[in-house]
Amino acid sequence: MSRLNNRHIVLGITGGIAAYKAAELVRRLKERGAHVHVVMTEAAQEFIRPLTLQALSGNPVHTSLLDPEAEAAMGHIELARWADLLLIAPASADFIAKLAGGHADNLLSTLWLACQSRKAIAPAMNQAMWADAATQRNMALLAQGGAQVFGPAAGDQACGDVGLGRMLEAVQLADAAEGQFQSRLLDGVSVLITAGPTREAIDPVRYISNHSSGKMGYALARAAANAGASVTLVSGPVSLPTPESVDRVDVTSAQDMLEAVMSRAQGSDIFIGCAAVADYRPVAVAEQKIKKNDDTMQLQLVKNPDIISAVTALAQRPFAVGFAAETEQVLEHARGKLERKLLDVIIANNVAVQGIGFNSDNNEVVLVTANDQQPLPLMGKQQLADALIERLAAMYRGRA
């Protein structure tokens, strides 16, 4: 998988005939897993229409610094913060001069000044314009400021001249963009995570469930995506937003979750079973609401399928991680579950301790393997998830 997977690219397009190549560039960046927002100058819109770039990027195209609707959503400062890389391709001689002079008279030049992450330009102009001393002086200023320069290439130009000044082709620019990033812990790895509770229906209005909020599983999904993984999150009913760059599959019951997991498990490299799956479900679900007629009510329950055991029983099984939420003899019960379910790793925590576990923003766990145990102290769930993903990635890579 590409080092651009889950990276945020802002592609700036300025006026010039090479603007037509931007459509192919967006497609190439998306193919490599990047999320792309396009910013166009007024002149760029004379060469290629914003609707084309919107369709290819899957995001609205940004064209105006003074657009109230745009500023109310992802404003120019937020867009600058969002970017892992701001790439201007094509960058005309006029726009390069603006950047070198520190101008901020349109959306794209303002973004350039506001963006504190990686920045790059792909020049595109007539060979004489490229060779001019003013252009070379402007390029030197931008390079001194940390901007990367992709190209230009030599060859035939639209004006009939031959020489340096052509914008690099889309594949070359995508390669150059990828080269700006170091490999991450889980680049090229697919991760399947379950999170939240399940609900087992009693009748149309009642169900059996538990106190899981899904916060730990969602934090793990976010951490895995940030580490470069392609993440699928199978989620029970929770009130949490989907982490960016994560493919979320909503389910309700344990049987729903089993089906969603088993249809994806063999194509996954790592499976993390973080969901609090209900152990039992009613044998029969009443078609109508059960009336409160008697002082007591009896329910006959049957054991739910064991999702983790089903995953580890696969002939081509992923690296499997489970959770043990216990109230006593935490490590003993966790090790038993590790062995019984044939897990590679189990993460144990004591949910009887106030302030951690279910519905809390904090947690404290012990990472347990067949030969080792690593305690992780009390911390926020996102911080803990980042630490767990770092250790799990090392274990997964070390297994090969």
Residue 343's φ and ψ, nearest 5 degrees, are -80, 155
Looking at domain 190-399, its CATH architecture is 3-Layer(aba) Sandwich (3.40)
In DSSP notation, 111-138 reads: HHHH--SEEEEEE---HHHHHSHHHHHH
CATH 3.40.50.10300 domain range(s) in the chain:
190-399
pLDDT digits (tens, 9 = 90+) for 230-261: 999 999 999 999 998 899 999 999 999 999 99
Please say whether the beta carbons of 186 and 228 come within 8 A: yes
Length of the chain: 400
Of the candidate CATH numbers 3.40.50.1950, 3.90.950.10, 3.30.540.10, 3.40.50.300, the domain formed by 8-178 belongs to 3.40.50.1950
For residue 70, is pLDDT > 60? no
Confidence grade of residue 33 (pLDDT, cut at 50, 70, 90): confident
For residue 376, is pLDDT > 80? yes
pLDDT digits (tens, 9 = 90+) for 53-62: 999 999 999 9
Distance CA 271, CA 295 (A): 44
Indicate the helix (H) or strand (E) that contains 151.
Answer: none
Distance CA 96, CA 102 (A): 10
Strands across the sheet containing 319-326: 246-250, 230-235, 190-195, 270-273, 319-326, 345-350, 362-368, 373-380
Residues labelled as active-site residues: 159
Long-range contacts: 297-300, Cβ < 8 Å, 24+?
A: 299/202
For residue 163, is pLDDT > 80? no
pLDDT digits (tens, 9 = 90+) for 274-323: 999 999 999 999 999 988 887 888 889 999 999 999 999 999 999 999 99
Please say whether the beta carbons of 37 and 14 come within 8 A: no
Peptide bond into 90 cis (omega under 30): yes
As a whole-number percent, the residues of the chain with pLDDT over 90 amount to 68
Residue located via tokens 């320069």: 149
CATH 3.40.50.1950 domain range(s) in the chain:
8-178
3-state SS assignment for residue 77:
helix
Nearest to 291, CA basis, from 199, 202, 210, 208? 202
User: Mean pLDDT over all residues of the chain?
Assistant: 90
